[in-house]
Structure 1
Amino acid sequence: MTRKLALLGSVACLLVSAGSALADDLPVRKAGLWEMKMARSGSAMPEMTMQHCTDESVDKEMANNVSPMAKQICSKQDVKKTVTGYISDSECSVAGINTTSHAEISGDFNSAYTVKTSSHAQGGAAGTAGRDTSMTLEAKWLGACKPDQKPGDIVMPGGFKMNIRDVDKLKALLPK
């Protein structure tokens, strides 16, 4: 159960960091099955690979559901278009932990894209001294979703499956 919560927490962090940018600024991904490899440094979380079945309505719903959550916890959310993609800078606070993040997003959202994020976190119950982490998400389009998948389904490592449309269930599992 702890592993599932850690995986869900990672997905939540990913969605909040990228979701605020999804709202109006990033193009919608091509419908179908996307493989997403996430590697983090400065964290105990191992590299993980997920598969996400999506369509235009799911990407828009993700933006609409995550963006309000990000607006509640983030005092700054800036997204800028660049020659090679997008840059996002944010300042967020959850459970007394203040996090400053910088993300560089490149790719075409039809076949592959990459998100490189660096962040600095400070605070928390133990008064954590600053901790720096970086994450790289590499996503590639695999084709049509599998016959047993519906838009919104995410298959996590170990076969754990959830649907992003159940974001309220995800929120309930995260620490307050």
Structure 2
Amino acid sequence: MRRYVSLLNISVLSATAMLWAVPAIADPIELPARKAGLWEMKMQGSAGMPGMTMQHCTDESTDKSMNTTFSPMAKDMCSKNEMKKTATGYVTDSVCNIGGTTSTSHAEITGDFNSAYTMKITSQNSGGAKANTGDSTTQLEAKWLGACKPDQKPGDIMMPGGMKMNVKDMEKMKGMHRPQ
């Protein structure tokens, strides 16, 4: 089970890096801004990895801020980050070193950024801790729910178990990141 949780964590990091960082460091192709409000994001992994549902309150400036926050980290961690526009959406390919594990990922993003989109990520992980190696598939399904709740502000992510964090706090992580 620990192996699956580690693979899910790497997939989550890869998905996050690809979704928000790739547009800022790749070709001039950018993902459209998501509609402001509350997004539900359901993530399901392969090989029995536990699923996870999060809610993210966002607005246009928060999405842009996430590009700024994750781009330097992704630039340091990823030797390859490419995004292409396709007839049905976007495709990204990346090779990143996350915590000593090399993750080679391919993501297909379809849908619109006003009501719903899906991201299917396939990753091959090698090196690092034995628990982090192997192949994985992760699917993220995002759906716009409406306005953020009164106690939420843009950037808030409500994690399973009631944990709440704000992506703007991740700005502090930039200074803590050291490439391997």
Q: By the TM > 0.5 criterion, same fold?
A: yes
Q: Residues of 2 paired with 1:13 and 1:170: CA distance? A: 16
Q: Residues of 2 paired with 1:43 and 1:121: CA distance? A: 17
| 2:154 aligned counterpart, secondary structure | coil
Q: CA deviation at 1:20?
A: 2.4
Aligned length: 169
CA distance 1:79–1:9, shift in 2 (3 Å) = closer
Q: Residues of 1 paired with 2:46 and 2:146: CA distance? A: 30
CA contact (8 A) 2:101 2:132 kept: no
Residue 135, structure 1, aligned to residue 102, structure 2 = no
**What percent identity do the matched residue pairs reach?**
58
1:145 to 126, 144, 148: 148
Q: Residues of 1 paired with 2:169 and 2:135: CA distance? A: 30
1:35 aligned residue: 40
**TM-score normalised according to structure 1 size:** 0.85
Moved more, 129-138 or 25-34: 129-138
1:167 to 160, 167, 170: 170
Q: CA deviation at 1:15?
A: 1.4
2:111 aligned residue: 107
Q: CA deviation at 1:168?
A: 4.1
**TM-score normalised according to structure 2 size:** 0.83
Q: Residues of 1 paired with 2:90 and 2:79: CA distance? A: 20
Give the aligned residue type for 1:110.
N
CA contact (8 A) 2:110 2:119 kept: yes
2:56 to 28, 42, 52: 52
Q: Residues of 1 paired with 2:17 and 2:160: CA distance? A: 20
CA distance 1:8–1:93, shift in 2 (3 Å) = closer
CA distance 1:43–1:61, shift in 2 (3 Å) = farther
- RMSD of equivalent CA atoms: 2.7
Give the aligned residue type for 1:36.
M
CA contact (8 A) 1:33 1:54 kept: yes
Q: CA deviation at 1:25?
A: 1.1
CA contact (8 A) 2:39 2:142 kept: yes
- Unaligned residue ranges in structure 2 (runs of 5+): none
| 2:67 aligned counterpart, secondary structure | helix
